Amino acid sequence: MASVTVRETAGAGLYSRKRIEEMSGEKISACFQCEKCSNGCPMVFAMDIQPHRVMHCLQLGLVEEVLNSDTIWVCVSCQTCTTRCPNDIDIAHVVDTLRQLSARRQVKESQKSVAVFHTAFLSSIKRFGRVHEASMVVSYAFQNEGITGVRKQLNLGLEMMRKGKIKLVPSRLWAGKQVKEIFRKAGRKRAQ
Amino acid sequence: MKVSYYPGCSLEGTAKEYGQSFETVARDLGIELHELNGWTCCGASSAHVTNDEMAVSLGVRNLLLANKTRMDLVVPCAACYQRLKAAEKAVNTRKTIEGIPAGFATQGRIRHIVDFIWEECGEQAIREKVRKPLQALSPVCYYGCLVTRPPHITDARDPEDPRAMDDILKSLDANVKNWSYKTDCCGGNLMLTHPELARKLVARLFDMALEAGANCIAVGCPMCHASLDTVQRDITRSDGASYNLPVYYFTELMGLAFGNRAAGGWFNRHLTDAKSLLSRNGLL
Hey, where are the domains in chain A? 17-106, 110-191
* Residue at B125 is within a domain: no
Instruction: Tell me if chain A has a CB within 8 Å of the CB of B182.
Output: no
CB–CB of B154/B82 below 8 Å? yes
* B57 min Cα distance to partner chain A (Å): 7
- Does A17-106 carry CATH code 1.10.1060.10? yes
Mean pLDDT score, B253-261: 97
* Residue at B172 is within a domain: yes
Say whether both B230 and B136 belong to one domain.
yes
CB–CB contact B159 A83 (8 Å): yes
Total Cβ atoms within 10 A of residue A158: 11
**Could you report the per-residue pLDDT of B182-237, keeping only the tens digit for each?**
999 999 999 999 999 999 999 999 999 999 999 999 999 999 999 999 989 889 88
Residues of chain A with C-beta less than 8 angstroms from the C-beta of B86:
none
Say whether both B66 and B199 belong to one domain.
no
Say whether both B181 and B276 belong to one domain.
yes
* Residue at B56 is within a domain: yes
pLDDT at B150 over 50: yes
pLDDT at B170 over 90: yes
Say whether both B182 and B250 belong to one domain.
yes
Say whether both B28 and B142 belong to one domain.
no
Instruction: Tell me if chain B has a CB within 8 Å of the CB of A98.
Output: no
What is the pLDDT tens value at each position of chain A, 192 positions in all?
Answer: 555 555 544 444 568 899 999 999 999 999 999 999 999 999 999 999 999 999 999 999 999 999 999 999 999 999 999 999 999 999 999 999 999 999 988 899 999 999 999 999 999 999 999 999 999 999 999 999 999 999 999 999 999 999 999 999 898 777 778 899 999 988 876 544
Question: Which of B86, B113, B140 is a domain's end point?
Answer: B113
* Residue at B88 is within a domain: yes
* B23 min Cα distance to partner chain A (Å): 17
C-alpha neighbours within 13 Å on the C-beta side of residue B134: 31
Contacts of A22 (CB under 8 A, 6+ apart): none
Question: Which of B84, B113, B142 is a domain's end point?
Answer: B113
Instruction: Tell me if chain A has a CB within 8 Å of the CB of B99.
Output: yes
pLDDT at B30 over 90: yes
Mean pLDDT score, B261-268: 96
* Residue at B123 is within a domain: no
**Cα angle for residues B228, A94, A136 (degrees, 5° grid):** 45
Say whether both B150 and B270 belong to one domain.
yes
Say whether both B164 and B246 belong to one domain.
yes
Say whether both B202 and B267 belong to one domain.
yes
pLDDT at res. A1: 52
What's the domain count of chain B? 2
* Residue at B118 is within a domain: no
Instruction: Tell me if chain A has a CB within 8 Å of the CB of B225.
Output: no
Say whether both B89 and B229 belong to one domain.
no
CA distances from B200 to A16, B117, B139, B149 (A): 35, 32, 21, 21
- What is the C-alpha separation between B250 and B27, in angstroms, rounded? 16
CATH number for position B16: 1.20.1050.140
B56-89 core/surface letters (b: 16 or more CB in 10 A; e: else):
bbbbbbbbebbbebebbbbbbbbbbbbbbbbbbb
CATH number for position B193: 3.40.50.11810
pLDDT at res. B63: 95
pLDDT at res. A9: 46
pLDDT at res. A8: 45
* A23 min Cα distance to partner chain B (Å): 10
Say whether both B50 and B142 belong to one domain.
no
Instruction: Tell me if chain A has a CB within 8 Å of the CB of B185.
Output: yes
Q: What percent of chain B clears pLDDT 90, i.e. is strictly above it?
A: 90
Mean pLDDT score, B152-158: 96
> Of B90, B38, B31, B100, nearest to B65 (Cα)?
B38
pLDDT at B102 over 90: no
Q: Measured between CB atoms, which of A137, A167, A178 is closest to B61?
A: A178
Say whether both B252 and B144 belong to one domain.
yes
* B124 min Cα distance to partner chain A (Å): 33
Residues of chain B with C-beta less than 8 angstroms from the C-beta of A77:
45, 48-49, 145, 189
Say whether both B141 and B258 belong to one domain.
yes
CB–CB contact A133 B190 (8 Å): no
Average pLDDT, chain B: 95
Mean pLDDT score, B119-129: 98
CB–CB contact A164 B269 (8 Å): yes
CB–CB contact B51 A140 (8 Å): no
* Residue at B121 is within a domain: no
Question: Which of B79, B113, B147 is a domain's end point?
Answer: B113
Instruction: List the domain range (segments joined by +) for residue B63.
Output: 2-113
* A8 min Cα distance to partner chain B (Å): 30
Residues of chain A with C-beta less than 8 angstroms from the C-beta of B50:
99-100, 103, 118, 122
**Cα angle for residues B190, B193, B199 (degrees, 5° grid):** 50
Backbone phi and psi for residue A125, each to the nearest 5 degrees, phi listed first = -65, -45
Minimal-distance CA residue of chain B relative to A179? B58
CB–CB of B34/B68 below 8 Å? no
Taken in order A76, A149, A166, B181, the sign of the CA dihedral is: negative
pLDDT at res. B101: 74
Segment holding A19, helix H or strand E: helix A17-24
